[in-house]
């Protein structure tokens, strides 16, 4: 073979981007106690003061003896751990002509974040408020309203429920799957809000609720035996759409360890890392599950 016909393999100076799903749940929880954890297995115990009796007062009258304060103890346990471990061969680093290690660390960080996002999405079973239609049949979403509930009306129902449960108006959110968001865009009211989002970057709202999208929402099915919505092994019927405020779920994490080293049996740089974390629904009444399915 003539050397003129030899075409060496070229390594691009650019790395392909990944089509990653949007991660939203980590931004919708509170991290009030994150500084109090150090390692896997740690627990944070938080006390909440109970109700205080309010009595009628009559002029010149006497009042009841002071009552003893009561409290309810909530426990956040750091019971999840995820790790990454990879190496980059010296030859790969030289040929790629890019900072492969930085790109790999970025992928590792995304992988950990996705695990956290999925974990929080799976907490739908701890929601204190469930909107699932009549006899647990779920809510059928229909953009026209002829064969189900309009998506805009579903959001209004969530807002009404939040009002009835004294959930703070500030910071309300609702995470919906792409199919629900597409149906929602067919309503004139939301379409106007979404157009503002496209120009200003402000997350669109319906009735004071921020609307976010996620592919991490869980497929669910009602189990008549356990009388609960569960994530089935097969044949799900609905999607677990979630709504609430950030005080509903408390989350804490700690990067336990990140180590860079040279493996003894190869010419390469290696990195391993460990993340420990935990999440707990402290205010179930501020956490809403909407069991919904598309009419199509």
Q: Return the number of other C-beta atoms located less than 10 Å from residue 38's C-beta.
A: 11
pTM: 0.84
Residues 146 and 246 in one domain: yes
- Residue 269 located in a structural domain: yes
Name the DSSP letter for residue 12: P
Residues 217 and 271 in one domain: no
- Residue 83 located in a structural domain: yes
What confidence tier does 230 reach under pLDDT thresholds 50, 70, 90?
Answer: very high
Helices H / strands E in the chain, number of each: 5, 14
Residues 197 and 274 in one domain: no
Residues 142 and 173 in one domain: yes
Residue that the structure tokens 């199919």 belong to:
179
- Residue 146 located in a structural domain: yes
Pick from 120, 151, 119: nearest CA to 290: 151
Question: Mean pLDDT throughout 154-183?
Answer: 95
- Residue 140 located in a structural domain: yes
Output the six-digit token pair for 266. 């190869």
In this structure, what CATH number is given to the domain that contains residue 132?
A: 3.30.1930
User: Out of 98-107, 122-131, 212-221, which region has the weakest mean confidence (pLDDT)?
Assistant: 98-107
Residue that the structure tokens 């759409």 belong to:
241
Residues 205 and 97 in one domain: no
Does pLDDT of 8 surpass 80? no
- Residue 165 located in a structural domain: yes
- Residue 62 located in a structural domain: no
What confidence tier does 15 reach under pLDDT thresholds 50, 70, 90?
Answer: low
The pLDDT score that the predictor gives to residue 118 is 96
- % of the chain exceeding 90 in pLDDT: 62
Tell me how many domains the chain contains. 2
Strand locations in 138-180 (E): 139-141, 173-176
Residues 150 and 103 in one domain: no
Residue that the structure tokens 């429920």 belong to:
161
Residues 157 and 197 in one domain: yes
The pLDDT score that the predictor gives to residue 7 is 55
Residues 150 and 289 in one domain: yes
Asked if 260 contacts 104 with a C-beta cutoff of 8 angstroms, the reply is no
- Residue 208 located in a structural domain: yes
> What is the span of the domain harbouring residue 75?
25-53+68-120+251-280
What confidence tier does 44 reach under pLDDT thresholds 50, 70, 90?
Answer: confident
Residues 240 and 174 in one domain: yes
Q: What phi and psi values does residue 5 have, to the nearest 5 degrees?
A: -90, 0
Spatial distance between the Cα atoms of 196 and 199, rounded to a whole number of angstroms: 5
pLDDT per residue as tens digits for the range 21-33: 778 999 999 999 8
What average pLDDT does the structure give for the chain? 88
Asked if 235 contacts 164 with a C-beta cutoff of 8 angstroms, the reply is no
Does pLDDT of 195 surpass 90? no
Residue that the structure tokens 């103890």 belong to:
73
The pLDDT score that the predictor gives to residue 3 is 47
- Residue 150 located in a structural domain: yes
Q: What phi and psi values does residue 215 have, to the nearest 5 degrees?
A: -95, 5
Spatial distance between the Cα atoms of 175 and 118, rounded to a whole number of angstroms: 13
Residues 43 and 131 in one domain: no
Question: Mean pLDDT throughout 135-161?
Answer: 95
Comparing 132 with 15, which gets the higher pLDDT?
A: 132
Residues 131 and 208 in one domain: yes
Residues 133 and 238 in one domain: yes
Asked if 177 contacts 215 with a C-beta cutoff of 8 angstroms, the reply is yes
- How many CA atoms, within 13 angstroms, populate the side-chain half-sphere of residue 134? 2
What confidence tier does 156 reach under pLDDT thresholds 50, 70, 90?
Answer: very high
């Amino acid at each position: 073979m003539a050397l003129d016909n030899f075409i060496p393999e070229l390594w691009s100076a650019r790395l392909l981007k990944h089509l990653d799903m949007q991660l939203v749940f980590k931004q919708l929880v509170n991290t009030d106690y994150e500084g109090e954890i150090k390692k896997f297995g740690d627990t944070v115990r938080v006390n909440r003061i109970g109700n205080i009796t309010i009595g009628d007062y009559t002029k010149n009258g006497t009042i009841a003896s002071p009552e003893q304060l009561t409290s309810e103890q909530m426990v956040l346990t750091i019971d999840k751990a995820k790790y990454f471990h990879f190496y980059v061969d010296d030859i790969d680093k030289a040929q790629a002509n890019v900072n492969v290690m930085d790109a790999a660390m970025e992928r590792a960080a995304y992988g950990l974040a996705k695990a956290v996002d999925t974990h929080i999405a799976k907490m739908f079973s701890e929601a204190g408020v469930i909107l699932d239609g009549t006899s647990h049949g779920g809510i059928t979403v229909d953009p026209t309203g002829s064969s189900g509930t309009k998506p805009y009306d579903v959001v209004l129902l969530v807002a009404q429920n939040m009002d009835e449960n004294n959930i703070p108006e500030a910071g309300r959110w609702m995470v919906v799957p792409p199919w629900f968001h597409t149906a929602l865009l067919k309503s004139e009211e939301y379409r106007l809000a979404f157009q503002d989002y496209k120009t200003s970057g402000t997350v669109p709202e319906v009735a004071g609720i921020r609307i976010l999208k996620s592919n991490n929402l869980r497929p669910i099915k009602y189990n008549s035996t356990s009388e609960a919505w569960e994530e089935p092994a097969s044949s799900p019927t609905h999607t677990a759409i979630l709504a609430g405020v950030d005080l509903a779920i408390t989350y804490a994490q700690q990067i336990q360890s990140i180590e860079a080293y040279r493996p003894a049996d190869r010419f390469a740089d290696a990195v391993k890392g460990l993340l420990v974390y935990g999440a707990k629904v402290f205010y179930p009444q501020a956490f809403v599950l909407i069991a919904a399915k598309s009419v199509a």
